[in-house]
């Protein structure tokens, strides 16, 4: 009996082995082997393999017996979802550099553009252009309130008529049906600064019909930041929609430390049931137009009107007084904190502070003359600038907040053009290198979650942000001990290092740390497009 039982067991085992040996091996387009996998959830990493086929993740685990056209040995490397940058400004840059090299080398595979109220008012046309251009990154877009207002009212400093209000609502409605993921505002910029809260609410309600997000560059990020946050939260409540507060920060030395108050406001709103989140870039300097140094009332209408106003002695005196008061609040004696990034009429200004430019021009070393330099730059068309005015303590405190995403607030860089803010090259690598590896402010798992699944959830990018079977194959393979931002304020044109492989929609874009020219990005449409 024992011999018969042994014989039966032998045949069972033999048959199983034979069947296993005859099973065909499975095939993938790309097989990532031996990776330390961080799946984007924030959970602990694990070792395994990732199989990619037809642009999707088709299997994750210990994948013995799999074959692939391309095998990546990720021993000693991390595999993670591609990063999603929720706050970018790529409009106009895509044509110059569709490979989006600065983003790709920083691990970004998806960007959301149209922030700060600035977008193409015709989102359908814009997304069709992007689709035909084929960028290396995926693109989603917000519709910007400022450009919607300009399309109907120009740069007028007044309230809209009811007919104008309805025309703006129609533009937002069409934008959402064409695929916008929400509406953005830039309430320190012309003409957004001239709008009332209720104007914003009416337009936000239109976007809310299509489950859009309200993303706001608030009216103030300095002295009146509390009121600005309250307004953003009110708009979300009134429109019954999620709120994203852009590039959360405290501007001006006089406001350093107030992140204790501003973070508490967001936490309180979330406890009350509001879907409010924030984003941040990991630097103590901001970047925007030099025009923000000029009081809003002198920036209405077109460039000719601005130039004419700034030529009037009484207005120049008022602007000078305003700048002097601004400096006094900051405890500064000169415009050393404002550095020109790009000034078209004279590139010798690039990389120099207003104080340095004033001295270069041979003027007296006084704020009055520095204010004149600002007005002259604005009269000649304006310039982009970097403003040094935030505290590291606030940057760190804000970074610890768990519902905070990492975002660059940058466009696609033209290499060696101007002296731009380094955030356009190094935002994500800086977080991973400085705030994770060096300062231990975040764990690696948490940092990856902030860059992947959190933004994907917020902006309803349903098949992005996780390493999960069936999801789009946007995948990074990087060295956690090597990843680093090389871009600095003095020498910003330097790509981040450490990304060994970047895969976008199942196509290798960075191969062995080199961008190979692949342009496999797709348009990611909002829920209004999906419903229509």
Nearest to 352 by CA among 369, 332, 327, 335: 335
Q: What is the pTM of this model?
A: 0.92
Assess contact for 187 and 219: CB atoms under 8 A: yes
pLDDT of the residue at 296: 86
Q: Which residues of 214-242 are buried (b: 16+ CB within 10 A; e: fewer)?
A: bbbbbbbbbbebeebbebbbebbbbbebb
Distance CA 359, CA 371 (A): 13
Mean pLDDT of the chain: 94
Assess contact for 106 and 425: CB atoms under 8 A: yes
Burial of 491 (0-12, 13-18, 19+ CB in 10 A): exposed
State the Cα angle at 381 between 376 and 383, rounded to 5°.
85
pLDDT tens digit string along 119-175? 999 999 999 999 999 999 999 999 999 999 999 999 999 999 999 999 999 999 999
Distance CA 85, CA 464 (A): 12
User: Per DSSP, which regions of 38-98 are E strands?
Assistant: 46-53, 56-61, 66-73, 78-81, 83-85
Assess contact for 206 and 182: CB atoms under 8 A: no
Cα dihedral 299, 300, 304, 309, rounded to 10, equals: -60
Structure tokens at 275: 């879907």
Burial of 209 (0-12, 13-18, 19+ CB in 10 A): middle
Residue 461 CA: distances (Å) to CA of 54, 82, 213, 273, 527: 19, 13, 12, 22, 9
Distance CA 489, CA 285 (A): 9
User: Per DSSP, which regions of 66-203 are E strands?
Assistant: 66-73, 78-81, 83-85, 108-113, 138-141, 143-144, 182-186
Q: Report phi then psi at 252, rounded to 5.
A: 95, 130
pLDDT of the residue at 8: 41
Burial of 464 (0-12, 13-18, 19+ CB in 10 A): buried
State the Cα angle at 301 between 202 and 146, rounded to 5°.
30
**Residue ranges of the chain with per-residue pLDDT less than 70:** 1-24, 532
């Amino acid at each position: 009996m024992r011999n018969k039982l042994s014989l039966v067991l032998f045949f069972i085992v033999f048959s199983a082995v034979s069947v296993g040996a005859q099973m065909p091996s499975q095939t993938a387009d790309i097989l990532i082997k031996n990776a330390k996998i961080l799946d984007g959830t924030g959970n602990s990493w694990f070792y395994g393999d990732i199989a990619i086929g037809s642009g999707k993740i088709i299997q994750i685990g210990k994948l013995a017996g799999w074959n692939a056209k391309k095998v990546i040995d990720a021993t000693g490397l991390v595999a993670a979802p591609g990063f999603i940058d929720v706050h970018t400004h790529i409009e106009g840059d895509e044509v110059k550099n569709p490979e989006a090299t600065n983003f790709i080398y920083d691990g970004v595979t998806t960007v959301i553009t149209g922030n700060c109220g600035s977008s193409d008012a015709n989102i359908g046309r814009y997304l069709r252009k992007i689709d035909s251009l084929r960028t290396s990154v995926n693109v989603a877009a917000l519709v910007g309130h400022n450009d919607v207002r300009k399309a109907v009212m120009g740069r007028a400093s007044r309230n809209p008529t009811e007919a104008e209000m309805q025309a703006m609502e129609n533009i937002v409605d069409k934008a959402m049906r064409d695929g916008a993921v929400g509406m953005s505002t830039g309430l320190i910029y012309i003409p957004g600064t001239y709008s009332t809260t209720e104007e914003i609410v009416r337009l936000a309600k239109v976007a809310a019909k299509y489950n859009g997000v309200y993303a706001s560059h608030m009216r103030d990020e300095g002295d009146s930041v509390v009121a600005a946050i309250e307004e953003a939260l009110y708009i979300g409540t009134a429109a019954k929609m999620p709120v994203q507060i852009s590039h959360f920060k405290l501007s001006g030395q006089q406001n350093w430390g107030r992140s204790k108050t501003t973070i508490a406001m967001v936490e309180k709103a979330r406890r009350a049931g509001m879907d409010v989140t924030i984003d941040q870039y990991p630097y103590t300097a901001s970047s925007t137009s030099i025009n923000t140094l000029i009081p809003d009332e002198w920036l209405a209408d077109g460039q000719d009107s601005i130039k004419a106003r700034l030529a009037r002695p009484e207005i120049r005196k008022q602007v000078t007084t305003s700048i002097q008061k601004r400096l006094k609040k900051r405890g500064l004696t000169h415009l050393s904190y404002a550095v020109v990034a790009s000034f078209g009429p004279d590139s010798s200004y690039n990389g120099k502070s207003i104080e340095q430019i004033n001295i270069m021009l041979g003027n007296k070393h006084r704020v009055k003359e520095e204010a004149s330099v600002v007005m002259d730059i604005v009269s000649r068309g304006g310039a982009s600038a970097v403003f040094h005015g935030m505290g590291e303590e606030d940057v760190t405190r804000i970074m610890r907040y768990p519902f905070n995403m990492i975002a660059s607030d940058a466009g696609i860089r033209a290499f060696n053009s101007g002296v731009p803010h380094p955030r356009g090259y190094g935002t994500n690598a800086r977080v991973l290198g400085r705030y994770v590896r060096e300062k231990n402010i975040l764990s690696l798992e948490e940092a990856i979650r902030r860059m992947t699944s959190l933004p994907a959830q917020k902006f309803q990018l349903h098949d992005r942000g996780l390493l999960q079977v069936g999801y789009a194959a946007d995948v990074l393979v990087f060295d956690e001990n090597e990843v680093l931002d090389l871009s600095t304020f003095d020498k910003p044109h330097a790509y981040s290092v450490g990304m060994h492989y970047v895969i976008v929609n199942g196509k290798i874009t960075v191969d062995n740390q080199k961008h190979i020219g692949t342009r496999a990005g797709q348009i990611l449409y909002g829920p209004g497009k999906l419903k229509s």
